[in-house]
Amino acid sequence: MDLPISACGCPVIDDVEWDLVERQWDDTPFFTTKMPMFFHLPIGRGRREEKARRELAAAGLIEATPNVVLLRDSLFRGSLWIAVDKPALDMGSRMSSLAGANVIAKVSSGSRRDVMAAVSSLLSYVRTKSGKHPKAIYFWQIDCTRCAETPARRTLVLAEL
Protein backbone atom coordinates (compact mmCIF):
# COMPACT_ATOMS: atom_id res chain seq x y z
CA MET A 1 0.00 0.00 0.00
CA ASP A 2 1.35 3.35 -0.96
CA LEU A 3 0.17 5.57 1.86
CA PRO A 4 1.69 8.78 3.16
CA ILE A 5 3.21 8.51 6.64
CA SER A 6 2.92 11.13 9.38
CA ALA A 7 5.89 12.38 11.43
CA CYS A 8 5.22 9.85 14.21
CA GLY A 9 5.02 6.89 11.80
CA CYS A 10 1.25 6.46 11.46
CA PRO A 11 -0.11 5.89 7.95
CA VAL A 12 -2.29 8.79 6.87
CA ILE A 13 -5.76 7.52 5.93
CA ASP A 14 -8.25 9.95 4.42
CA ASP A 15 -11.68 8.97 5.77
CA VAL A 16 -13.45 10.03 2.55
CA GLU A 17 -11.22 7.77 0.42
CA TRP A 18 -11.67 4.73 2.69
CA ASP A 19 -15.02 4.89 4.51
CA LEU A 20 -17.51 2.49 2.86
CA VAL A 21 -15.43 2.43 -0.31
CA GLU A 22 -14.85 -0.83 -2.14
CA ARG A 23 -11.29 -1.35 -3.31
CA GLN A 24 -9.02 -4.10 -4.42
CA TRP A 25 -6.21 -4.92 -1.98
CA ASP A 26 -2.71 -4.93 -3.42
CA ASP A 27 -0.26 -7.83 -3.34
CA THR A 28 1.32 -7.01 0.03
CA PRO A 29 2.70 -10.23 1.56
CA PHE A 30 1.80 -10.90 5.20
CA PHE A 31 3.50 -13.04 7.82
CA THR A 32 0.71 -14.72 9.78
CA THR A 33 0.49 -16.26 13.22
CA LYS A 34 -2.36 -17.59 15.34
CA MET A 35 -4.03 -15.26 17.81
CA PRO A 36 -6.10 -16.61 20.69
CA MET A 37 -9.44 -14.84 21.06
CA PHE A 38 -12.21 -14.89 23.58
CA PHE A 39 -15.54 -13.89 22.04
CA HIS A 40 -13.77 -11.81 19.36
CA LEU A 41 -11.38 -10.11 21.80
CA PRO A 42 -7.66 -10.82 21.28
CA ILE A 43 -5.80 -12.32 24.23
CA GLY A 44 -2.22 -11.11 24.73
CA ARG A 45 -2.00 -9.21 21.44
CA GLY A 46 1.07 -7.20 22.49
CA ARG A 47 3.03 -10.33 23.47
CA ARG A 48 1.92 -12.11 20.30
CA GLU A 49 3.06 -9.17 18.13
CA GLU A 50 6.46 -9.06 19.88
CA LYS A 51 6.92 -12.81 19.35
CA ALA A 52 5.92 -12.54 15.68
CA ARG A 53 8.37 -9.66 15.15
CA ARG A 54 11.18 -11.76 16.68
CA GLU A 55 10.24 -14.59 14.29
CA LEU A 56 10.30 -12.10 11.39
CA ALA A 57 13.79 -10.93 12.35
CA ALA A 58 15.03 -14.52 12.75
CA ALA A 59 13.73 -15.34 9.26
CA GLY A 60 15.42 -12.26 7.81
CA LEU A 61 12.13 -10.58 6.94
CA ILE A 62 11.68 -6.82 7.14
CA GLU A 63 8.38 -5.31 8.26
CA ALA A 64 6.80 -3.17 5.55
CA THR A 65 6.42 0.59 5.78
CA PRO A 66 3.83 1.79 6.60
CA ASN A 67 3.25 -0.68 9.37
CA VAL A 68 0.21 -2.78 8.44
CA VAL A 69 -0.84 -5.22 11.15
CA LEU A 70 -4.20 -6.85 10.52
CA LEU A 71 -6.12 -8.89 13.01
CA ARG A 72 -8.45 -11.46 11.47
CA ASP A 73 -11.44 -11.97 13.70
CA SER A 74 -12.95 -15.22 14.88
CA LEU A 75 -14.87 -16.28 17.97
CA PHE A 76 -12.06 -18.16 19.75
CA ARG A 77 -9.11 -18.14 17.33
CA GLY A 78 -8.06 -15.41 15.00
CA SER A 79 -4.83 -14.59 13.28
CA LEU A 80 -2.35 -11.76 13.32
CA TRP A 81 -1.08 -10.58 9.91
CA ILE A 82 2.07 -8.42 9.71
CA ALA A 83 2.96 -6.88 6.34
CA VAL A 84 6.49 -7.59 5.13
CA ASP A 85 8.54 -6.11 2.28
CA LYS A 86 8.87 -9.37 0.36
CA PRO A 87 7.53 -12.88 0.89
CA ALA A 88 9.75 -15.64 2.22
CA LEU A 89 9.26 -18.80 0.20
CA ASP A 90 10.63 -21.00 2.99
CA MET A 91 7.92 -19.73 5.39
CA GLY A 92 5.24 -21.50 3.31
CA SER A 93 1.95 -21.55 5.19
CA ARG A 94 3.04 -18.66 7.43
CA MET A 95 2.84 -16.27 4.44
CA SER A 96 -0.51 -14.98 3.18
CA SER A 97 -1.77 -12.27 0.90
CA LEU A 98 -5.00 -10.46 0.16
CA ALA A 99 -3.85 -9.82 -3.43
CA GLY A 100 -6.84 -9.11 -5.60
CA ALA A 101 -9.32 -9.39 -2.75
CA ASN A 102 -12.15 -6.89 -2.83
CA VAL A 103 -12.58 -5.19 0.52
CA ILE A 104 -14.90 -2.56 1.88
CA ALA A 105 -13.56 -0.47 4.73
CA LYS A 106 -15.15 1.40 7.59
CA VAL A 107 -13.11 3.95 9.54
CA SER A 108 -13.61 4.04 13.31
CA SER A 109 -12.19 6.57 15.75
CA GLY A 110 -12.42 6.11 19.47
CA SER A 111 -13.11 3.29 21.88
CA ARG A 112 -13.76 -0.43 21.39
CA ARG A 113 -17.49 0.34 21.54
CA ASP A 114 -17.06 2.65 18.52
CA VAL A 115 -15.23 -0.15 16.67
CA MET A 116 -18.07 -2.59 17.38
CA ALA A 117 -20.57 -0.02 16.05
CA ALA A 118 -18.40 0.31 12.92
CA VAL A 119 -18.44 -3.48 12.48
CA SER A 120 -22.25 -3.56 12.74
CA SER A 121 -22.57 -0.70 10.28
CA LEU A 122 -20.12 -2.33 7.85
CA LEU A 123 -21.82 -5.74 8.03
CA SER A 124 -25.20 -4.14 7.38
CA TYR A 125 -23.77 -2.19 4.43
CA VAL A 126 -22.11 -5.29 2.92
CA ARG A 127 -25.26 -7.40 3.29
CA THR A 128 -27.36 -4.68 1.66
CA LYS A 129 -24.86 -4.10 -1.14
CA SER A 130 -23.95 -7.69 -2.01
CA GLY A 131 -26.63 -9.76 -0.31
CA LYS A 132 -23.91 -11.91 1.30
CA HIS A 133 -21.93 -12.08 4.51
CA PRO A 134 -18.24 -11.12 4.07
CA LYS A 135 -15.65 -13.93 3.81
CA ALA A 136 -13.62 -12.40 6.63
CA ILE A 137 -13.38 -9.32 8.82
CA TYR A 138 -9.99 -7.72 9.48
CA PHE A 139 -9.05 -4.98 11.91
CA TRP A 140 -6.18 -2.60 11.14
CA GLN A 141 -5.26 -0.32 14.01
CA ILE A 142 -3.93 2.56 11.95
CA ASP A 143 -2.15 4.40 14.77
CA CYS A 144 1.45 3.66 15.65
CA THR A 145 2.11 2.28 19.15
CA ARG A 146 2.70 5.78 20.53
CA CYS A 147 -0.57 7.18 19.15
CA ALA A 148 -2.57 4.05 20.02
CA GLU A 149 -2.61 5.13 23.67
CA THR A 150 -4.61 8.27 22.86
CA PRO A 151 -8.41 8.24 23.28
CA ALA A 152 -8.91 9.06 19.58
CA ARG A 153 -7.22 5.92 18.26
CA ARG A 154 -8.22 4.94 14.75
CA THR A 155 -9.13 1.50 13.46
CA LEU A 156 -9.96 0.49 9.92
CA VAL A 157 -12.44 -2.40 9.77
CA LEU A 158 -12.13 -4.33 6.51
CA ALA A 159 -14.73 -6.74 5.14
CA GLU A 160 -13.39 -9.13 2.50
CA LEU A 161 -16.03 -9.80 -0.13
Cα separation, 145 vs 50, whole angstroms:
12
C-beta of residue 157 within 8 angstroms of C-beta of residue 105: yes
Selection from 30-34, 41-45, 85-89, 122-126 with the highest mean pLDDT: 122-126
pLDDT of residue 115: 84
Q: Pick from 32, 28, 26, 51: which is nearest to 91 by CA?
A: 32
**In this model, does residue 151 exceed pLDDT 60?**
no
pLDDT of residue 125: 94
Cα separation, 98 vs 27, whole angstroms:
6
Return the H-helix or E-strand segment holding 130.
helix 112-130
104-117 confidence digits (pLDDT tens):
999 988 777 888 89
pLDDT of residue 9: 63
> Each residue of 106-117: b (16+ CB within 10 Å) or e?
bbbeeeeeebee
User: Is residue 135 classed exposed, middle or buried when 0-12, 13-18 and 19+ CB atoms within 10 A define those classes?
Assistant: exposed
152: confidence class by pLDDT, cuts 50, 70, 90: low
pLDDT of residue 103: 93
**In this model, does residue 4 exceed pLDDT 60?**
no
Give mean pLDDT, residues 34-50.
83
pLDDT of residue 102: 92
Per-residue DSSP letter, 49: H
pLDDT of residue 75: 76
Cis check: omega of the bond before 36, within 30 degrees of 0: no
pLDDT of residue 104: 94
- What is the Cα 7 distance to its own chain's centre? 21
Query: What structural domains does the chain harbor?
Result: 15-160 (3.20.80.10)
pLDDT of residue 121: 93
